[in-house]
Structure formats: C-alpha cells, structure tokens
Structure 1
Amino acid sequence: MPFSVSWHTLLDELDDLPGGATLITPLSHKRFQVTDVQEQRVVIEFLDRDIDETRPLQREQFETLFRRITEEPGGFELDRLPADADPYPAVLSLHPRFEIDEDRGVIVEKEGPTTSQLLDAEPESESDEQERTEPDVDVYADALLLVDALERHDVTTLEEVDTDALVNIYTLLSDVQRNANDLRQDVADVLLNRLHHDRPVSGPFGSVQRTSRQNRTLKDEEVVVETLEDAGIDRERILGVDRSKVDEALEVTEVAESDVYEIETSEYVRKADVDEERKETRLQGLKDQLAASEEEGAEELREEIEDLEARIDELTSFRTGAEVSD
C-alpha cells in the first residue's frame, strides 16, 4: 500500500479523535494531544512540559518511519528512532494497521485488529472531584500518621520535642521507610519491563532510567591461581590474598576479569532526577484542597487520621509498671 493512502487514512483517524483525547509516547511516556491536523503535518501539544510544549510532526518524517516499518518483517525497533522522535510512532499507532509492542520495543504492521497509544478519550476536568479511596498498602496508613505527626510537632527543633512524640515519630519513620522500600521494589520490578535501552522515562515529579550493575565473586581458588600462574604471576604472590591483590595482578597482565571472576549483571531502576518544585506545587495543592473541602469531608479525613493514630499508639506505647495478663 503506498504511503499516500496510509497517510490520508491516518489523517482521517486523527480528525475523528474526540476532543481532549490524550496519547502517550512509547519510550519517554510523555502525554500529548493532537491540536491541529494539516495535509503536510500534525501539530501536537505536550501536557507535561512548561516550555516548547507545542510541536509540529512533519509528513515526510512519518513517511520515513512508515517505510522502515514495512521493510522490517519483525517490526521497527523503537530505540533506533532519533532523539525525541517517539511522538511519531505514538501518532502512527492510531492507524488501523500499525501497533506498538512496548514489551518488545517495536512498532509493527499488522493485518488484524490493533491497539493504539490513546489514553483518554474524554479526560476529567481538573475541577472534577475524585473520590478518595484508601489503597491497601501498609505504607499508606503509616504515611498519613507521619504527616499528621509532623504537622503537630516542630521537628525543626528536635531538642524541644517531648520524648513520647519523638518515639512515635521515630517509629513511624522506621515503618514508612521499611514499607515504602518494599513498595518501591515492587514498582521497580514492574518498571523494568517498561523501560528500554537506558533511556530516561519522565513523570510529573521526576524521571527514572534502566541501568545495570555487576557483582563480582572470585572463581574457585585453584582456577584463579592456575590462570594467573599461566600469565606469569607467582603462586606465592596471590595465594591466600584478598581480591585487591588479584586486581593488582590483573593490571599488569592481559588476563581478563572474566577469567578469574564470576560476573553477574543485574538490572535495576535508579532515580535519575527529582522535580522538587513540582512536588512542592502538588503538596500545596493537596493542602489547599483539604482546606477548601466541605466541612463534612474534611472532618471525615481528620477522623480517619485520628483512628489510624490510635491504632499505632496502641502498638508503640510503653506503660511503666503495667502487667501483661495471659
């Protein structure tokens, strides 16, 4: 099928998008909307940018991507895209014959039904109130209690805070740290399947990226000794020594690390950047929302916090001289 036919099919799909339809890029996971559809270009507007939020996507670039996809039987690998070009496959995924497979990191041409990068056909208005729900994770209750405790005590002058309050704050900090780290690891495990090719992925508060680390452990002692002896290192020089001596020997020989070390490479998620200003804005918004909420709703939240605090107090309070009955 010639590109001109596919291009006009895509333009028809874009013209049929409902107002406020939101798409997401496959690599950086940035949200954007199509604001104008023209014969030679498509204009988009990023929702997570404060500068350069509007950008034209040119027809000739779509044609280049179209030809590369159709020439690759297994799909075109997204990491081969030029920097900041992932809005193109996101828009092209609206065409009924193209689909993005994020698990494989490719965009492919298909004969059957396809999915797109379309997120919300009719996103909720910012003024619409969302119903509050309590997530079933341990860190949620601890975090609420910690926020309440920090609001009631001036932790900028810890020396002036009562011992009982410090005990509770320390307990909550410990619980939040432990439970947050457990949840962080669960989130990281899922993110690993969505991050590709060491490219940072941005969210409203910051960004993460996929990277790797190597853990080295010495192979069997006799294997290490014989390998280095063959390279001209006396047995007495390394026998019974620590790994630093082995590293010194590696520096003066052509022996590879893998000859004397068992090397395992593991993947993990590392925090790459934090937008402190955005976090502060969001926190202030939460405070303003609570302050402006109806009295009944605000009172319900306060009662919830007090109930949670009472539960943690029962677990952390010390009663001098109290007897424990069976």
Structure 2
Amino acid sequence: MSVGHEELWNAIQERCTALEPGTELVTLLSDRPFRVREISTDRLQIRFDDSGEKRPLWREQFEVLTDRLAEHRLAVAELPPGVEPYATILTLLADFGVEDDEIAYVPDPEMGGGSPYLISPADARTRPERLHDDAILLADLLDTMDPVDPETLETGTLTDLYVLLSDVQHEADRLRQTARESLLSRLGPDQELHGRFGTIRRTTRERRRPKDDETIFDVLSENGIPREWVLGVDSDKLDIVLAATDLEEEEVYDVEEQAYVQKTEVEEEEKYSRLQGLAERIEEVGGEEGEELREDLRDLEARLGEALSA
C-alpha cells in the first residue's frame, strides 16, 4: 500500500470533516448506526445512535488496520465489534472498500469514497424528526394558501399538499401507537389522565375469533344445531375456483369500482432541501420581520414538542 500513515490520517480527518451535519454511518456487520462527533489530532470521537454510547477511534488503530489490509483482506463476517466502526470509516476513502464480503485495499479512481455504509442526513432522521420536519413543511405550505380551498389550488401545489398530509398522518399514527403503549402502562381501570390539550382514559373492547372448526362442530352437534347453519362461502377458496375454472368473476362477485388517490413516491431529499431553505431564509431576514419569523418557528417547534411529549 502506497499510502503512508500521515497521509492516511489526513485523508480520514478531511473526509470526516467534509461529512454533512447529520450524516450517519452504519457498521459493516451489525448495522449499528453512529455519527462522528469530534475530530482530534489523535482520534475520532463517535457516538452510537442506538445506545448513546460514545467511543474513541484512535489514529494508531487505523494504522494497524490499514497495515493489515495492505497484506490481507478481512472477511466482514469475522470483524470483531470493536473493529467495525474503524472499517466503516475506511470505506469513506477511495482506497478502501468491500468486495466479495471482504474489506480490502482496492485503489480505484472510480470508487471515490462512495461508501455504501453512509446515510444522508435526510435518511438518517428518526421518525419523530421526520414528523417534526413534515409538520413544518405542511405549516409552511398552508401559510401560502389563502384561502385553503383545494378547488382553487394549482395541481402541483395540491399534489404537494396531499403528499405532506399523507406523510404527517402516517408518521403521526406510528408515533401515536408508540405513545399508546406507554400510556396503557400508566393508566389503571377507570382512570383518566389530563394534559394541556385533552384528556384520555383506558378503554377496552372485545375482538372475537372463531375457534377451530372441529371444536365448533362438536359444540353444535351437542346442542342439536345443524352445521350447515354456520357454513358459508370462503372467498379465498372461491378465488382458487375462479383461477382454476372458466367461471367468470361477475358470476360470483358483485364488483364495484372505486377511485382513490395513491401516493406512489415521496421526494425526501427535496423535502429536506426545502427545510434547509426555510432555515436559511429565516436567517437572512433581518430586523423586526426576521425576529418575528424566528419567533413563529420557535413557537411552532415548541407546540409540536409539547404535543408529542403529551
């Protein structure tokens, strides 16, 4: 390997410094997400997002690992947990990569440090962060619509409105389910909990599921009830019959066509870029108007935070 230790360490520092804020990396084998938090003269300080654990990656250990890779490839499946983040950082450099499930020194101008273990800031956001960001984008879009009447909107704007409403609903429902599980552990029978925005209480409902066929038929027989009374058409079996015979669907189904809008793609990078643009626009506005915008944003974030924590 022609790269010297000094040159290697400089390349590592430069590549990590160039990472966009919020960028996440994942370890090669265990898929543990981590971020580079600090770059020093003799180490990198990383923090694992799944546990909050902080760990230094020492310059000398990078040198030992690269010296080893100069002579032998290392199987990814055999990497010790402590070596994984070192190997992940090396894949940021153009001279290292993973081939045939092995990490190796593979100088190739075509690679250019395009690590498959690097996650962009937009993709690295947590679900609550995505909900927060989508809610801000939705609020910004609603601010530009006066009046908020879908019939008056240009098609592109109406499409963006639908996508953002769908994304906010989707992420909010996921977070609501998580919050529900935590609240159920704190709610006793007939107990109510009060927050600033509302009140909740424990509610129960029954969901019935038939027992197995033999158990049901035995009980019916014991009570003199003909089993034919409970037998019906099984739609799954009916579909098999349709596929295997010349029977037409219209002969056994009442078919009704319903039109609906389906979200087929979300431009996450475009949304993230818009968020950055909003932040930059607010920073550029000076004087009383700028402070008013910043205050509105802080108020929105505070209200969202309170709603999520409640």
TM range (shorter): 0.3 to 0.5
Tell which has more relative contact order, 1 or 2 (C-alpha 8 A, sep 6+): 1
Structure whose residues are more often strand by fraction: 1
